Copies of this chain bind each other. A is one copy, B any other.
Amino acid sequence: MANLTLVQAINLALIQEMELDDRVVLLGEDIGRNGGVFRVTEGLWQRFGAERVVDTPLAESGIIGTSIGLAMGGMRPVPEIQFEGFLGPAYDQLCSHAARFRTRTRGRFPMPITVRVPVGGGIHAPELHSDSPESIYVHTPGIKVVMPASPYDAKGLLISAIRDPDPVIFFEPKRIYRAFREDVPEDEYTVPIGKARVVTEGDDLTIVSWGAPVVDCMNAIEAGGRSAELIDLRTLYPFDMETIAASVRRTGRVVIVHEAPRTCGLGAEIATRIMEECFLSLEAPIQRVTGFDTIMPYYKLELDYLPGADRVGRAIEEVLAY
């Protein structure tokens, strides 16, 4: 058991999977000698060599496109996209190709690719370094989407993702890369894809969130003193409706919290599913606390944009007051 940050937990998972399975190769920009701009791959180039930890040309479509070929050729590529904003140039290879190869070839070419991507705002970064595009990929059939909110989950989910026979986007909430530490077993373990985590149990309302805002929700609950059941979704597609529905049937009130823009965000899907499956249990409209339908602002205003503990706290009171 070691007390690790989220970055360290991911680094450990990568080392252990690379030791275990020599089909696992890492590729991306600056991940080699430099150990990645967030130091997530620190030491791996030195340990596994330049053949398995590869600094590629600066081309995201190339990174994902060659990962597809690597996967077809029997490897298990783990590409890194340096910031979520640079998924853009790779969109086509990811959504029109990686996501479709298994189904368009009726299983002949599965795509065991794990795309690691730092995500989200709050670190005073320049433009296109602070977005939350997860809903785009949740809407895209054929991809699994994972976002841990703690070091323990990060390690276990990343190991699951690398072993998963399908393409997984593994979003790493950069705001909490080093925000806190947690005990993380040294041995390998998996956290299953598709299962949510109940962070705190409670009776008055259900809060659903994922990634860095989970921490804001915890703070809001602590500050507000309400009995809230906080669900950390962990896997965004396919997401764990069972855990959500069981909780909502008990509490009847829901707040959903995410950083992404509101319209067509995953919050809308969850709200709709709750309405579909728990219609008669709902005692108040579901509240969404989200980013706005705006471009994520430059950093002077980023805290205005992010759903902080304050806004979550107000939503909790609103939904309870209804």
Q: What residues make up the interface of A, taking CB atoms closer than 8 Å to B?
A: 85, 88-89, 91-92, 95-96, 99-100, 103-104, 127-128, 135-136, 138-142, 237, 260-261, 263-269, 271-272, 275-276, 279, 284-286, 288, 292-295
Which 4 A-B residue pairs are closest in the complex by CB-CB distance? A88-B92, A139-B264, A91-B91, A268-B268
Instruction: Select which of B128, B141, B285 is within 8 A of A276 by beta carbon.
Output: B285
Closest beta carbon of chain B to A96's beta carbon, Å: 5
A139-B135, A139-B136, A269-B268 known; A286 vs B294 contact (CB < 8 Å): no
Question: Are B261 and A268 closer than 8 Å at their CB atoms?
Answer: no
Closest beta carbon of chain B to A86's beta carbon, Å: 8
Contacts of A266 on B, CB cut-off 8 Å? 264
Instruction: Select which of B92, B260, B284, B286 is within 8 A of A272 by beta carbon.
Output: B286
Give the docked Cα–Cα distance between A77 and B140 (Å): 29
Question: Are A295 and B264 closer than 8 Å at their CB atoms?
Answer: no
Choose among A91, A128, A135, A272 the residue with the greatest number of B CB atoms under 10 Å from its CB: A272
Please give 20 more A-B residue pairs, beta carbons under 8 A apart, in addition to A96-B128, A272-B288, A276-B286.
Answer: A85-B96, A103-B294, A104-B127, A135-B139, A139-B261, A139-B264, A141-B292, A141-B293, A141-B294, A263-B269, A264-B266, A264-B268, A264-B269, A268-B268, A268-B271, A268-B272, A271-B275, A272-B272, A272-B275, A275-B285
Closest beta carbon of chain B to A292's beta carbon, Å: 8
Closest beta carbon of chain B to A230's beta carbon, Å: 20
Give the docked Cα–Cα distance between A295 and B103 (Å): 8
Determine the residue in chain B with the shortest Cβ distance to A136. Answer: B136
Q: Provide a sorted-by-A list of 7 A–B residue pairs whose CB atoms are within 8 angstroms.
A: A88-B96, A91-B92, A139-B261, A141-B261, A237-B263, A272-B288, A275-B285
Give the docked Cα–Cα distance between A293 and B286 (Å): 24
